[in-house]
Structure 1
């Protein structure tokens, strides 16, 4: 196993131990039917991941004006995910639905995704 593959496994193990299960929800918009003039229902795809929901530090509030009161930092282990979260994904953590605020950071040394760091807003 390559070094970064081992680091991805270690990140997953640590976040599993000290974090919590989160759900990444992707929405696919319903298709438009020109015969009826209506759009079909949206469909949802849920994926389970391991993550840690954290508060931003005072220093981060001072240097990043895009952070609002109530925003959280969510770190998600990349190992085991079939696809990364996108800016259109929603994240369900602690019974709340969170939107992802740009930028979505991927910690990806040498082409191996280890961690996704998200700013989320409820």
Structure 2
């Protein structure tokens, strides 16, 4: 087991212990030729939403009400990205920024995203 795999497992344990079940939703746009409705696919995730400390809320990049969401990479088949929506605490948060924490370029240790209420 590599160092980054160990860190991934440690992150999973902490998020599982202190976090909650949630979901990452990805919206696929309608077919450009045939049209139709967008298709929403929901991916179950274990996550921890946390409010930003007041010193980081600057009113431009981080707004009041934004949350930092730690998402376990273990068992998640997608990499959360801008445009996805995270469901936590019964609230939907649009991902406006993210940091995959892929330190070795291969292993996603944990996903840390900035969520904004939709």
Larger radius of gyration: 1
**8 Å Cα contact 2:69-2:112 kept in structure 1:** yes
Shift of 1:33: 4.2
Aligned to 2:11: 11
Partner in structure 2 of residue 20 of structure 1? 20
Secondary structure of the residue that 1:45 maps to in structure 2?
Answer: strand
Distance across 2 between alignment mates of 1:81 and 1:90:
14
Q: 2:47 aligned with 1:51, yes or no?
A: yes
**So what's the TM-score if we normalise by structure 2?**
0.88
TM-score by length of 1: 0.86
CA RMSD of aligned residues (A): 1.6
- Aligned counterpart, 1:70: 65
Query: 2:81 maps to which residue?
Result: 86
Q: Distance in 1 between matches of 2:54 and 2:30?
A: 42
Alignment partner of 1:5: what SS? Answer: helix
The answer to whether the 8 A contact 2:51-2:66 is kept is: yes
Does structure 1 retain, via aligned residues, the 8 Å contact 2:96–2:116? yes
Helix, strand or coil at the partner of 1:13: helix
What residue in structure 2 maps to residue 107 of structure 1? 101
Query: Matches of 2:114 and 2:23 in 1, distance apart?
Result: 15
Which runs of 5 or more structure 1 residues have no equivalent in the other structure?
Answer: none
Instruction: Identify unmatched segments of 5+ residues in structure 2.
Output: none
The Cα shift of 1:49 comes to 1.0
* TM superposition shift of 1:85: 0.6
Higher helix proportion:
1
